[in-house]
Amino acid sequence: MKQLRLSFINGPDLVSAIACKALIDLVTWHGPQQIDRAIGIESPDSSYEKSQFTQVDLSDMNADDLNIGVLDILFSGFHKDDWEFDLEGDNHDNVPTILGEGFAKILLLSGNFASIPADLHTVILAQLIRLYFSEEAKELERSIAHLSSVI
């Protein structure tokens, strides 16, 4: 788990994309709290209702900064400016698109994740809408068509 997080944060774009897919798959399969516990991050008190994701500067993170939840790290990926939108070849998988699809799945499966406060659902939906209408994403016809079919 720690290696996947480090690969997502510090890897080249292709490695980050693969790590992103793996982290999202693990989150949707096991739940975010279970993933955080697996790497030693204590979950907040059950009475704590989170209404925003913790913003993390992924460009400035290192191995010592890993006491941040997996959803916060993944959501911060939306705000990293240097992900590349690679349009070459048949594979349009890139980190922003994978994040969009992954958070759409998390939103659709939100009934399975009681640990994700309902207040975060609107934050996720707002980010998906921003991604849908972003200039970079307009060039990714397959990705946008897929994202809109998931939403």
How does pLDDT run across 32-89, given as a tens digit for each residue? Answer: 888 888 888 876 544 345 778 888 777 776 655 667 889 999 999 988 877 765 545 4
Nearest to 22 by CA among 84, 87, 70, 61: 70
Question: Domain range for residue 108?
Answer: 2-150
User: What pLDDT score does 143 carry?
Assistant: 52
Number of domains in the chain: 1
For residue 83 the two structure tokens come to 């992900």
Percent of the chain with pLDDT over 90: 25
What is the value of pTM for the model shown?
0.79
Whole-angstrom distance, CA of residue 77 vs CA of residue 96? 7
**Largest distance between two CA atoms of the chain:** 48
Phi, psi of 69 (to 5 degrees): -60, 155
